[in-house]
A and B are shown apart, each in its own frame.
Chain A
Amino acid sequence: MSDEFVKGLATLCGGLFGWMVFSGWYTTEGFESTQLIAEVPTDPAIYGNIALTLREALFWFAIFGAITFWVLIPAGRQARAALRDRRSSN
């Protein structure tokens, strides 16, 4: 149980960490204006495109990774255990 927790935490922190680095380069207006969540540049070059894609991917990796480890997998285990109990009691 705690293993799944730390896996979810690791995906969340690691994904958001990478997201923060890419956002620092591409979606930060300046130190004293909007940081990390500013407008996405309209016409990025090829590297910019790759970086922005990775940024999105890392963000959703963090979100879905955490949901998977904290919600989906434990829920699936509980459901399977409940099914097994029902079968064995019948």
Chain B
Amino acid sequence: MTDTTDTDERNDATEEVAADGAGIVAPDDETPTWRERKERRQGLSRLTYEYFERSRREDQDLRTESSYVERDVLAFPTWPHEMIRNLSLTSFFVGLILFLAAALPPHLGAPADPSTTPAIILPDWYLYWSFGLLKLGPLNPDLAILGGQKLMKDATYGVLANLVVVGFIALVPFLNKGSARRPVEQPFWSAVGVFGVVFAVMISGLSIKNLWPAWVNVHLLFDLTFLLPFVAGFITYGILKAMREGYMFELNRRYYRLRPPR
């Protein structure tokens, strides 16, 4: 028994210095104290505080009731723990595929005709964003210095726009390591993420602008493609920033702490 207590104390002592995912805990000057949190009596921050306080308390109650002895566990063994779970998941999805293949009527279309070009040519849906970037013609400026000429063709401009998007995505991991466990912890980067998702959806919608029904205003769609991401990003930032006031950064930290292997 004494041995266990000693180990626990040692763990507690090293807790401050441990490299427990440095980005997880908020910067000290921005973290509200417990008293500050409890003083917040209204709005989204109060709601967030109550939500996390309730889940923390439920977790604590469960731990108090439980007879389970907590141990430092790095992982579960592959057999049987992981395999049982994986096999049941695999069986479920294989069964789903078998059922659908057996029960849904198959579509047997006419054979493809290589001698005629289809009226509508589109990439697969997950490449619509890239296809949409090729339709940025209105953003390609007419330069007065070139006598109202465009610097490059609209097609070239669209291809370069792809490089900008891919370049930004490649840059993000260097700017932010993604150590937040929840969007509340890093409102700015969450807002950047929402910006990206909304922009991807809108530019995908723009890429099929000739296929929309007549009531869709294509010019408005073009404008919204570039406005809506900013609107969504700002709203996300505002909401998360307000929520962060009531957020507990210490909650569940034990689950996310990285322990070095012995």
Interface size class of B (residues with CB under 8 A): under 10
Contact of A21 among B104, B107, B109 (CB under 8 A): B104
Do A31 and B109 touch (CB < 8 A)? Answer: yes
Question: Is B103 part of the contact surface with A, judged by Cβ < 8 Å?
Answer: yes
Interface residues of B in 99-137 (CB under 8 A from A): 100, 103-105, 107, 109
A-B contact count (CB 8 A): 13
The residue of chain B having its C-beta at the shortest distance from the C-beta of A20 within the complex is B104
Do B107 and A31 touch (CB < 8 A)? Answer: yes
Q: How far is the CA of A31 from the CA of B105 in the complex (A)?
A: 10
Interface residues of B in 114-173 (CB under 8 A from A): none
Interface residues of A in 6-40 (CB under 8 A from B): 20-21, 24-25, 28, 30-32
B-side interface residues toward A, CB under 8 Å? Answer: 100, 103-105, 107, 109
Task: Given A21-B103, A25-B105, A31-B109, output 10 extra A-B contacts at Cβ < 8 Å.
Answer: A20-B104, A21-B100, A21-B104, A24-B104, A24-B105, A25-B104, A28-B105, A30-B107, A31-B107, A32-B109
Top 6 nearest A-B pairs by Cβ distance? A31-B107, A24-B104, A21-B103, A25-B105, A24-B105, A21-B104
- What are 13 contact pairs spanning A and B, CB under 8 A? A20-B104, A21-B100, A21-B103, A21-B104, A24-B104, A24-B105, A25-B104, A25-B105, A28-B105, A30-B107, A31-B107, A31-B109, A32-B109
